[in-house]
A = this chain, B = another copy of it.
């Protein structure tokens, strides 16, 4: 007898599971319900629809071969029934029925199931502040809202916008507003950095600087306290520090799993409110699967639970659900938290744990930084990129990698490799010898990920003693007045010169890299030396040498001026 499969939710995980299980069991009766009339869309594409990169919302609902994924498409091409505008109300696990409601008419009915899947996704977190219900305040939760946002901008109803939340969606929306439409745009982030928990502060700072350079105002460490309005329409946003005018406010303060129907049916729910599933994506009721933004998965690095509401994971989980519904015991073991984002002309990406998260999870974590060429330094399209490896000092396991560089796929080429390696538990030493595909147009003979592993290796073994950006930048704030240290600037005299002029030759010592072996006796032995170059690599060489001549009170700024310039330094001589 053919099996009845019912799926609640038709955006990503649901349709994927539906089509997969139908291919595996052509006689199954597969039904998807979705409360919306627009479904099976690429929600991650919304910022690019708003920006105009994607001209029509239907493209977000289309296949790669340009068919719109509507009810007819699912029925004719996939053999799957989709009921749009239909909400899942409750599950009767004993009777194996799903009560549903026609959203338009309110009419209720029952769908019997042999196997049920919950793919209800997430909902945006709406901050409990006054004015959140004003006209002009939007969350990025469905295509209708995206259409309305773009419509208002295109009709020139928006000259100033504020985005609440410096996560990926907030930043992508800010770029969309500013880049194509020229809307005066601000981002307000409650935490002291954008992309909190995803990347660490130096990397967040590089993106912040680039977005500010491109005209997006970013206010950090400022919570949104009130959305201001007049005649029911939004007019601005008030934080503790300022009031920002706005015709539109985007609330992008994260999402929460939509798990009520599961909770009410007595399925196990995590403390964060996500549906608990096993490796086969089964809930605590083996006849009910769940996948996508409504579930939590295993973090393969920390071994802790991970809430990662991403379309990419939802699709992979959905396929695993389809397999298991059909009796194929495929497993979804978990994720590593891979992340990537375009911000104007740069790319920021990460995989695994950030240092902040790794420390919070109890790892003996530290970071290695470098700023190498992304390909052979003599190749014309070469560019400087910045990488940070997070590692555990005790086990030498690599916990995460963050990358920043120009737009393109050069950063993914390293982050994806790291994602694969980290999934498998690779160590610093594995990364040091990872055989990245090499030719001068694509990489350096020693690829960036090999190079950053070398830095981690030297750190881990205590050969490299570093200073991190935060303490260095704090020191620089009152460097001229009270430094108990000297800078040792080993760059070319033309590069070091302006700093020597500004800070004085006593505190900003400049000896070129290739002259140190002959001139080290000029160095003071009673002060800490901060060794500075462009990337940090030469500084480490110099540190090693100085150690051998008895000057061991030295620290290296890994990433050097290449990273400093990208983070933005107001003390640097113009």
Contact = CB atoms under 8 A, between A and B. Distances in A.
Nearest to A168: B439
A435 B454 contact: no
A316 interface: yes
A27 interface: yes
Contacts of A535: 64
A435 B44 contact: no
A315 B446 contact: yes
A85 interface: no
B376 A44 contact: yes
B437 A340 contact: yes
Contact of A419 (B59, B435, B545): B435
A351 B311 CA distance: 28
A276 B279 CA distance: 45
| Tier of interface size on chain A | 35 or more
Contacts of A445: 12, 42, 44, 311-312, 314-315
Nearest to A59: B378
A552 interface: no
Interface string A428-465: 01101111111111110111001000100000010100
Interface in A315-335: 315-316, 319-320, 328, 330-333, 335
A136 interface: no
A7 to B, nearest CB: 18
Interface string A41-62: 0101100100001100001101
Nearest to A45: B440
A455 to B, nearest CB: 12
A434 B407 contact: no
Contact of A514 (B67, B438, B442): B67
Contacts of A410: 409
Interface stretch (A72-80, A110-118, A152-160, A523-531): A72-80
A101 interface: no
Nearest to A414: B416
Please state the number of chain copies in the assembly.
2
A372 interface: yes
Given A421-B424, A442-B412, A514 B77 contact: yes
Given A340-B437, A424-B421, A379 B53 contact: yes
A143 to B, nearest CB: 13
Nearest to A316: B433
A442 B340 contact: yes
Nearest to A312: B438
Interface string A8-31: 000010000001000110110000
Contact of A441 (B64, B77, B407, B454): B407
Contacts of A94: none
A439 B79 contact: no
A429 B379 contact: no
Given A379-B45, A419-B437, A545 B351 contact: no
A42 B312 contact: no
A277 to B, nearest CB: 14
Contacts of A283: none
B372 A23 contact: no
A269 interface: no
Nearest to A547: B26
Contacts of A313: 435
Contact of A26 (B79, B379, B544): B544
Contacts of A190: none
A469 B391 CA distance: 45
A349 interface: yes
A428 to B, nearest CB: 10
B53 A380 contact: yes
Given A42-B445, A412-B409, A438 B311 contact: yes
A332 B433 CA distance: 7
A235 interface: no
A58 to B, nearest CB: 10
A397 interface: no
A55 to B, nearest CB: 9
A420 B446 contact: no
30 contacts: A23-B545, A24-B463, A26-B545, A42-B440, A44-B438, A44-B445, A45-B376, A64-B373, A64-B377, A64-B535, A65-B492, A65-B538, A76-B517, A77-B514, A78-B541, A168-B439, A316-B432, A328-B461, A330-B432, A335-B435, A340-B438, A340-B443, A349-B442, A407-B441, A409-B410, A412-B436, A412-B443, A416-B437, A417-B419, A419-B434
